[in-house]
């Protein structure tokens, strides 16, 4: 075809046909078997994007159909596991059940979530001299790209330069899954000796890339007469998709968060990473934590409904306290579960809200309101201890301007703003003097991905160290020049004690330069105190935890099954926030993303593993009208934590989990209309499920049996 | 078809021989090299590619937002196309400044679309189309912010706009830093562009493009397309003898601001809001919605209940007329012959009749319905003397509920008749399960929305409690 330059297949790969991050189980291009619909077979390179897409239509693929598994429980039954199961244990639930006043068992399902970063996946590459290659990638993990390009091209890592300017949204979807596309363009550019660019069409992106993991879980919860949770058992079947990707790590975080913000003395949580024929599921804001939390919230709601108390009564009674031990052995310090809850009660009046809602529901037949309280407790650090390190490179140029490079990737979360603040505040200079550079593997090596909410902490700490090293040298120069030993820098000026000296920042830098003092520094930071022993499943994996409590109110139209959120009022423990607008943006954005996951965002695969929700017309994310009418954020006044950058706690992931309350608020309203119905736990709570639950006695249905007759847009 | 397309892109006059079926988005990004317009979904559902299209009417230019991914290049002949670059000034404009001040941007990829949509509102904040600035971004998806910061920015824009209401609008907006001053010359410059006639050859006709470009933009570029919507600088909806006459190129927005419908259907604005979004309504045509024959087409369902009629024209210019309810045969099968197009649509302007429209989807706005339904009804002394019912999403065609309407005609408006009518309706519909819901759900929803019509229109007589 005219304008088509080349088609690359697995046989064109000079090195390894392998892109698996944790487990080497994922080829770049399929060889003999396809394990999921949307698995790449080859790359078409041509003069334009349109030509390549038209060329693709001309390719006919002949294949034999193999059996398809989409259900994680079926995969587990057949023994298709990505890695061996893991179990976190504390106490012994088996001995406790008989002592419990109440024991409830059940099953809960929670679906996955499409990242829907507005900028789709993409990368471009060009060859450099000496067999080197430059790759610009929209990735959260430049080192993963660099490593994999080297492996696939069979060249050492030092020949691969990966540069990341910024991302049009990531949310975890570009932590590992940006790699394949970057490697493909690198392969093409390397082989053709020309620049090659690829940016994914939205429908390809939705079809081919993995998402948040769907989970199907069994739970068992035992409570005492006074509603203390004595024992909790959960078995999580994680739908990993066709390859490991980050699933084993996601699985681990589910176990770490299987009791959310509650203290349970006897816990056994098991998780199985089940291999199915779906695209390999991957990181997504919360990384398995939200699924673990959802399941225990289901268990609590189940218990509350049977005992006939409000779920928040059980939640409140079981919040973590200072010094409690988690199932993974970490002794909890700086616990703010109860204080944020109490602050929430004090500021917003949870009990008054409940009374108002009860009154409203009494007088309204068609519209019912529901409320849920959602406490969160989220551990900060990569659960894989070895990943908790970062580096920063600072150059002060002799004109006084500063350039900063770190391993952090800006994807809208505001990490560059925070890094800028760290540099400016450490040096005592204004933001116009500092430039935060792109993330580049030649400047900063061996980076961990920007993930786990830890980007600002790890890279900020490294930057602080680098700036302080340069600052100490500059101060020494100033001391010598000014003959005083109490030097500080503020507002681009040099102070001796409280007294301004005639020396400016620029003059000091110039002076240091002339005295042959180093104006550059490369610093390395590794989080202290954390450790974890996988063989015992015990340790101290998290630097600290983030807490908070949210109250969510919803109104359900019981005629139509539709709903809208009246308010979300929350108290968040952000420590000493170094930038409130940035942190509030993360809180509001995370919350709304969480609400979307629990409500309208519905991934639909048919039994053959074909994605039916394959476009923005069939997969809906919140728009401006579907967000809560009112979102109130209060910051809990706390000291923060020494391991948080400037005591400003990590904020990327935790707020998403306030959104879990959306599910239980709707359920609360549905129960107000249809109290007798025996409802399943199956998120998201789409208007379809709501209407079906409102009418549960009248109509029987199975949600799973969706036939594909009209999957596209009509 | 004439080969060149001539329009003003921001400040520059553009004459291009690129194919008229090329999307405006691809022209802007890859021919004009203006990369501020982003690609998000290429199906009009995210708004990252939003631009303004200015249409000259006399000495004035009317600006409307549009998704450039669904706009054929040929459709902007003689118009002013504004991208985010064309809104830039030496310092940030007031809309951009508001987005910065309220942290309305995080990753930034959706931001140009939001800015353009809000600037469209600033240029033309008609009350028939918007209640406030927030309504202008109903077609823009942001995955980062959770929208609250953007809401706050929009509120400030409204406050600032209220302070610059004296004098000619364009001059005021320029003076107050909302838009660059080159806008003043645009009307004069557009006059100099020679109009092009819409071609009348037999190629596949395309109106606004909002359906045919969805998921098919590649294929379209290999097809012979006749664009119908070129150079329509005139009013496209007008009343005559108790009817509204709708031209073939009239858009949803044209219908949304029709005084005849606003004055006779109290909740007209609310119904229109349920249908797609500003940038889609601004370019999508009513005729296209009908011809597309989607079983779930919102306007089709509304026009079926309103009792609309069609005028159909063939290549020789012969005209024939047909009630809309006789237009659909089977899935995507209509009465339209190969060489025919819908040339005009007639809607009887409601008099004493009451009208209501219901639509339920996963997301209330900018979503495709699971079920949608409309009713036009006239009741005298508790007797139903006129009734049209229609329903979508539960049949191979957008369904006029012939049996159900006939059953209710002449009957008393009471619970018994409504409940019986609902069972008649269940026999008329035949839903299938798909991404928008299971068949059981659609039956249940159809029942509930059927009841909702009467609960809404006759709240004193019909109550939900007696029906469910």
Position A564 scores a pLDDT of 98
Mean pLDDT computed over B20-28: 95
Interface probe for B, chosen from A3, A114, A118, A167 (most Cβ of B below 10 Å), is: A118
| pLDDT tens digit sequence for B228-260 | 876 566 789 999 999 999 999 999 999 999 999
Chain A closest-CA separation from residue B167 CA (Å): 32
| pLDDT tens digit sequence for A381-412 | 999 999 999 999 999 999 999 999 999 999 99
Kindly list the structural domains of chain A, giving each domain's residue range(s) and its CATH number in brackets, ordered by start.
Answer: 4-65+115-208 (3.30.365.10), 215-383+535-694 (3.30.365.10), 389-526 (3.30.365.10)
Calculate the average pLDDT of chain B.
95
- Partner-chain contact A118 B134, CB within 8 Å: no
- Partner-chain contact B363 A626, CB within 8 Å: yes
Interface probe for A, chosen from B418, B435, B436, B455 (most Cβ of A below 10 Å), is: B435
Cβ–Cβ contact B452 with A under 8 A: yes
For residue B329, what are its two tokens?
Answer: 């045969």
Helix (H) or strand (E) holding A278: none
Position B370 scores a pLDDT of 98
For the ranges A315-319, A706-710, B217-221, the lowest mean pLDDT is seen at A706-710
Name the 3-class secondary structure at B225: strand
Specify whether the CB–CB gap between A389 and A526 falls below 8 A: yes
Helix (H) or strand (E) holding B245: strand B243-247
Q: Which residues of B touch A710 (CB under 8 A)?
A: 432, 434-435
Give A349's DSSP letter.
-
- Partner-chain contact B440 A701, CB within 8 Å: yes
Position B225 scores a pLDDT of 82
- Partner-chain contact B437 A711, CB within 8 Å: no
What interface predicted TM-score (ipTM) does this complex get? 0.97
- Partner-chain contact A588 B40, CB within 8 Å: no
- Partner-chain contact B46 A118, CB within 8 Å: yes
User: Residue B2 pLDDT more than 90?
Assistant: no
- Partner-chain contact A692 B365, CB within 8 Å: no
Mean pLDDT computed over B364-381: 97
Mean pLDDT computed over A204-228: 98
Cβ neighbors of B37 (< 8 A, separation 6 or more) are B25, B28, B29, B48, B49, B50, B51, B68, B83, B84, B112
Distance CA A471, CA A468 (A): 5
Q: Which residues of A touch B144 (CB under 8 A)?
A: 169, 412, 585, 589
- Partner-chain contact B438 A620, CB within 8 Å: no
Mean pLDDT computed over B258-276: 97
Cβ–Cβ contact B42 with A under 8 A: yes
Residue of chain B nearest A631, judged by CA positions = B148
Chain A closest-CA separation from residue B141 CA (Å): 6
* Cis? peptide before A684, omega within 30° of 0: yes
Specify whether the CB–CB gap between B390 and B450 falls below 8 A: no
Nearest CB to B107 within list A203, A411, A708: A411
The residue to which tokens 């349970």 are assigned: A264
Chain A closest-CA separation from residue B238 CA (Å): 30
Nearest CB to B144 within list A589, A698, A709: A589
Cβ–Cβ contact B215 with A under 8 A: yes
pTM beyond cutoff 0.80: yes
Nearest CB to A203 within list B48, B134, B215: B215
Distance CA A166, CA A139 (A): 9
Chain B closest-CA separation from residue A154 CA (Å): 34
Chain B closest-CA separation from residue A265 CA (Å): 37
What residues of A are annotated to the active site? 653
| pLDDT tens digit sequence for B87-120 | 999 999 999 999 999 999 999 999 999 999 999 9
Kindly list the structural domains of chain B, giving each domain's residue range(s) and its CATH number in brackets, ordered by start.
Answer: 5-86+186-227 (3.10.20.30), 89-179 (1.10.150.120), 237-467 (3.30.465.10)
Name the residue among A565, A556, A555, A551 with its Cα closest to residue A630: A565
Q: How open is the CA angle A572-A573-A579, to the nearest 5 degrees?
A: 90
User: Residue A706 pLDDT more than 90?
Assistant: no
DSSP string, A577-634: -S-HHHHHHHHHHHHHHHHHHHTT----B-TTS-BS--STTTS----TTTS-SEEEEE
Name the 3-class secondary structure at A52: helix
Bigger pLDDT: B165 vs A599 = A599
Mean pLDDT computed over B436-448: 97
Position B227 scores a pLDDT of 86
Residue of chain A nearest B298, judged by CA positions = A714
Q: Which of residues 422-441 of B touch A (CB under 8 A)?
A: 432-438, 440-441
User: Residue A498 pLDDT more than 50?
Assistant: yes
Position B202 scores a pLDDT of 58
Position B231 scores a pLDDT of 56
Name the 3-class secondary structure at B9: strand
Q: Which residues of A touch B218 (CB under 8 A)?
A: 50, 53-54, 57
User: Residue A705 pLDDT more than 60?
Assistant: no
Chain A closest-CA separation from residue B247 CA (Å): 24
């Amino acid at each position: 075809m005219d304008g088509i330059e080349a088609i690359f297949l697995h046989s064109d790969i000079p090195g390894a046909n392998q892109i698996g991050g944790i487990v080497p189980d994922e080829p770049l291009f399929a060889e003999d078997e396809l394990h999921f619909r949307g698995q790449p077979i080859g790359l078409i390179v041509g003069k334009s994007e349109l030509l390549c897409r038209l060329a693709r239509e001309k390719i006919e693929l002949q294949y034999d159909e193999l059996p398809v598994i989409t259900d994680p429980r079926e995969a587990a039954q057949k023994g298709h596991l990505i890695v061996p199961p893991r179990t976190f244990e504390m106490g012994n639930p088996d001995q406790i059940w008989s002592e419990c006043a109440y024991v409830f068992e059940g099953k809960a399902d929670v679906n996955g979530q499409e990242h829907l970063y507005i900028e789709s996946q993409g990368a471009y590459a060009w060859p450099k001299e000496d067999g080197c290659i430059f790759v610009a990638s929209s990735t959260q993990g430049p080192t993963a790209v660099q490593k994999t390009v080297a492996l696939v091209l069979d060249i050492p890592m030092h020949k691969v330069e990966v540069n990341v300017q910024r991302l049009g949204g990531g949310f975890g979807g570009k932590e590992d899954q940006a790699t394949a596309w970057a490697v493909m363009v690198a392969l093409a550019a390397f082989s053709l000796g020309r620049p090659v660019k690829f940016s994914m069409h939205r429908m390809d992106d939705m079809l081919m890339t993995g998402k948040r993991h769907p989970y199907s879980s069994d739970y068992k919860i035992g409570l005492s007469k006074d509603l203390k949770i004595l024992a909790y058992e959960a078995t999580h079947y994680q739908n990993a998709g066709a390859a490991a990707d980050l699933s084993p790590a996601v699985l681990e975080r589910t176990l770490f968060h299987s009791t959310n913000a509650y203290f349970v003395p006897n816990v056994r949580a098991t998780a199985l990473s089940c291999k199915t024929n779906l695209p390999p599921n991957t990181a997504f804001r919360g990384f398995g934590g939200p699924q673990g939390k959802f399941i225990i919230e289901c268990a609590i709601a189940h218990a509350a409904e049977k005992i006939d108390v409000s779920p928040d009564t059980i939640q409140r009674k079981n919040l973590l306290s200072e010094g409690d031990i988690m199932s993974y052995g970490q002794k909890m310090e700086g616990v703010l579960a109860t204080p944020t809850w109490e602050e929430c009660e004090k500021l917003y009046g949870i009990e008054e809200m409940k009374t108002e809602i009860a009154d409203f529901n009494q007088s309204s037949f068609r519209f019912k309101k529901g409320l849920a309280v959602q406490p969160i407790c989220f551990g900060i650090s990569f659960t894989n201890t070895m990943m908790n390190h970062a580096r920063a490179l600072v150059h002060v140029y002799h004109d006084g301007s500063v350039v900063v490079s770190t391993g952090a990737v800006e994807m809208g979360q505001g990490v560059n703003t925070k890094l800028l603040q760290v540099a400016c505040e450490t040096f005592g200079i204004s933001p116009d003097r500092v430039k935060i550079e792109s993330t580049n593997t030649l400047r900063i090596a061996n980076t961990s991905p920007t993930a786990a909410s830890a980007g600002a902490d790890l890279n900020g700490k490294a930057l602080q160290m680098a700036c302080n090293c340069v600052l100490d040298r500059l101060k020494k120069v100033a001391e010598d020049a000014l003959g005083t030993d109490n030097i500080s820098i503020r507002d681009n000026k040099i102070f001796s004690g409280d007294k301004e000296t005639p020396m400016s920042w620029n003059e000091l830098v110039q002076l240091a330069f002339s005295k042959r003092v180093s104006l550059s520094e490369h610093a390395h930071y590794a989080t202290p105190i954390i450790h974890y022993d996988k063989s015992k499943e015990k340790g101290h994996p998290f630097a600290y935890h983030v807490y908070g409590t949210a109250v969510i109110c919803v109104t359900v139209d019981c005629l139509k099954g539709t709903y809208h959120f009246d308010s979300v009022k929350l108290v968040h423990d952000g420590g000493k926030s170094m930038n409130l607008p940035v942190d509030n943006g993360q809180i509001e954005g995370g919350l709304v993303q969480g609400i979307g996951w629990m409500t309208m965002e519905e991934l639909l695969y048919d039994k053959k593993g074909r994605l039916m929700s394959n476009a923005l017309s069939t997969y809906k994310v919140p728009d401006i009208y579907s967000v809560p009418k009112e979102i109130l954020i209060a910051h809990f006044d706390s000291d923060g934590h020494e391991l948080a950058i400037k005591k400003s706690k990590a904020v990327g992931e935790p707020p998403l989990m306030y959104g879990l309350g959306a599910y239980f608020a709707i359920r609360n309203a549905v129960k107000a209309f249809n109290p007798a119905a025996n409802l399943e736990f199956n998120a998201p709570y789409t208007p379809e499920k709501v209407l079906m639950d409102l009418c549960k006695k009248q109509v029987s249905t199975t949600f799973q049996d969706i036939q594909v007759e009209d999957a596209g847009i009509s | 078809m004439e080969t060149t397309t001539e329009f003003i892109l921001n400040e520059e006059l553009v004459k291009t021989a690129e194919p008229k079926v090329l999307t405006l988005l691809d022209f802007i990004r890859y021919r004009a090299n203006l990369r501020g317009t982003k690609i998000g979904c290429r199906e009009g559902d995210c708004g990252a590619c939003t631009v303004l299209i200015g249409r000259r009417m006399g000495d004035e230019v009317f600006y409307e937002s549009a998704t450039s991914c669904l706009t054929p290049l040929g459709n902007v002949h003689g118009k002013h196309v504004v991208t985010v670059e064309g809104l830039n000034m030496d310092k940030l404009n007031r809309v951009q400044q508001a987005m910065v001040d309220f942290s309305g941007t995080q990753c930034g990829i959706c931001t140009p679309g939001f800015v353009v949509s809000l600037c469209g509102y600033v240029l033309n904040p008609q009350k028939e189309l918007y209640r406030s600035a927030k309504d202008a971004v109903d077609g823009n998806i942001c995955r980062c912010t959770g929208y609250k910061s953007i809401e706050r920015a929009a509120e400030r824009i409204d406050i600032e706009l209220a302070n610059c209401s004296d004098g000619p609008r364009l001059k005021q907006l320029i003076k107050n830093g909302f838009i660059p001053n080159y806008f003043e010359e645009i009307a004069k410059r557009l006059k100099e562009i020679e109009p092009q006639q819409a071609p009348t050859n037999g190629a596949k006709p395309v109106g606004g493009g909002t359906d045919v470009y969805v998921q098919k933009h590649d294929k379209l570029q290999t097809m012979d397309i006749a664009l119908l919507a070129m150079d329509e600088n005139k009013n496209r909806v007008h009343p005559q003898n108790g009817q509204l006459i709708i031209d073939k190129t009239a858009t949803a927005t044209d219908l949304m601001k029709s005084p005849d419908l606003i004055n006779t259907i109290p909740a007209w604005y609310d119904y229109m809001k349920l249908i797609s979004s500003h940038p889609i309504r601004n370019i999508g045509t009513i005729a296209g919605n009908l011809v597309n024959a989607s079983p779930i087409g919102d306007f089709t369902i509304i026009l079926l209940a309103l009792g609309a009629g069609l005028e159909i024209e063939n290549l020789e210019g012969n005209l024939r007329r047909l009630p809309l309810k006789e237009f659909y045969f089977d899935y995507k099968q209509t009465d339209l012959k190969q060489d025919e197009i819908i040339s005009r649509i007639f809607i009887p302007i409601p008099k004493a009749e009451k009208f209501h429209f219901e639509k339920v989807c996963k997301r209330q706005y900018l979503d495709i319905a699971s079920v949608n339904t409309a009713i036009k009804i006239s009741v005298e002394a508790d007797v139903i003397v006129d009734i049209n019912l229609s329903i979508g999403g539960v049949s191979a065609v957008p369904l006029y509920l012939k049996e159900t309407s006939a059953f209710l005609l002449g009957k008393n408006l009471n619970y018994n008749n409504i409940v019986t009518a609902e069972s008649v309706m269940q026999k008329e519909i035949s839903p299938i399960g798909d991404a928008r819901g299971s068949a059981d759900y659609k039956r249940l929803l159809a029942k509930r929305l059927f009841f909702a019509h009467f609960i809404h229109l006759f709240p004193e007589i019909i109550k939900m409690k007696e029906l469910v």
